[in-house]
Amino acid sequence: MKTTLAIRRTASVVLSILVAGSVAVASGQSSPTKDIVDTAVAAGSFKTLVAAVQAAGLVDALKGEGPFTVFAPTDEAFAKLLPGVVPSLVRPENRDMLVAILTYHVAPGRLTAAMVTELDRIETLNGQRPAVRVDGGSVMIDKATVIAADIKASNGIIHVVDTVILPSKNDIVSTVAKEESFDTLTAALWAAGLVSVLQGEGPFTVFAPNDDAFAKLPAGTVESLLKPENKDKLTSVLTYHVVSGLVYSADARPGSVETMQGSSLRVSKSGDSLLVDDARIVTTDIPATNGVIHVIDSVIFPVRADE
């Protein structure tokens, strides 16, 4: 459920008050001259973050024109990670992983606290989108609490968080496979030879039928589709559930969208629910490294897929 505007505005006021006694002193001037990296260095409480940015080769990027919004974990936030995690991340061989984590903390544009609290999810440079939630007087970014906000820099704005937020490290196939409710879909992907495709770069949006959705089909349908001689039919059905690009629930609009199968499926709304064709989306915005997954309660079929 989307938090009411009144609560969000209250949270924005609380966050603005937090700034007064925090590292925001470093950017108290009306026209800050220090960029995001130099502002973090001057604050003194982001030594681990600065070292990580240097190890990831992101210093020049975050000194660029921007603007950027950075959700900056403090040294205490990094200290919450398991022992050995930070030393491991800053090793050259783990640079890609470190870049993925750090860019998950950076959004394009200049998002003030008031703007953040109006969002359900934040588009980051990583590509995945952390969730925004207002809990009483606190704003949560995934599992991190914003403890200071609206720290100005010459090329953006910084919000301080008390926890390092971590993007998904699993691709679409791995994400589906590790969930107990997608055994049939996982088997179908293997039978159709689509595993390597959905482990590709993407990004993809997958409308994933759970096991209950497959169980609603007429008796014998799944068994028939999984037979080698029906591989083309199975592939047609499964690729009808896949859309190229990222379509998060907040971006979904009534209309039609072309699928990997070639046909277009219909997106509509029923009350507070989103529908694709006649299937209801029951869980939205499950992140993967190469896309996003929405769980649906029915298997959808392209026109003439059974012929």
| pLDDT tens per residue, range 97-109 | 999 999 999 999 9
Residue 201 has pLDDT above 80, yes or no: yes
> How many independent structural domains does the chain possess?
2
First-last CA distance in the chain: 41
* Amino acid 175: pLDDT: 95
* Amino acid 179: pLDDT: 84
Q: What is the pLDDT of residues 126-173, one digit of tens each?
A: 999 999 999 888 999 999 999 999 999 999 999 999 999 999 999 999
Pairing relation of β-strands 68-73 and 156-161?
Answer: parallel
176 within some domain: yes
* Amino acid 251: pLDDT: 86
Residue 200 shares a structural domain with residue 157: no
Residue 18 shares a structural domain with residue 44: yes
302 within some domain: no
305 within some domain: no
Pick the closest to residue 14 from 104, 148, 209, 202 (CA basis): 148
Percentage of the chain lying above the pLDDT 90 cut: 82
Q: What domain range includes position 64? A: 5-161
Residues linked to residue 266 through DSSP beta bridges, in sequence order: 256
CA distances from 232 to 142, 187, 219, 224, 235 (A): 40, 15, 20, 12, 5
Residue 11 has pLDDT above 50, yes or no: no
pTM of the shown model: 0.81
Residue 21 has pLDDT above 60, yes or no: no
- Coil, strand or helix at 259: coil
180 within some domain: yes
* Amino acid 141: pLDDT: 97
Question: At which of 138, 161, 184 does a domain end?
Answer: 161
* Amino acid 136: pLDDT: 83
* Amino acid 32: pLDDT: 82
* Amino acid 45: pLDDT: 93
303 within some domain: no
Residue 16 has pLDDT above 80, yes or no: no
* Amino acid 69: pLDDT: 98
167 within some domain: no
Give the CATH number of the domain where residue 184 resides: 2.30.180.10
Residue 150 shares a structural domain with residue 210: no
Residue 23 has pLDDT above 80, yes or no: no
Residue 42 has pLDDT above 80, yes or no: yes
Residue 245 has pLDDT above 90, yes or no: yes
Question: At which of 135, 161, 187 does a domain end?
Answer: 161
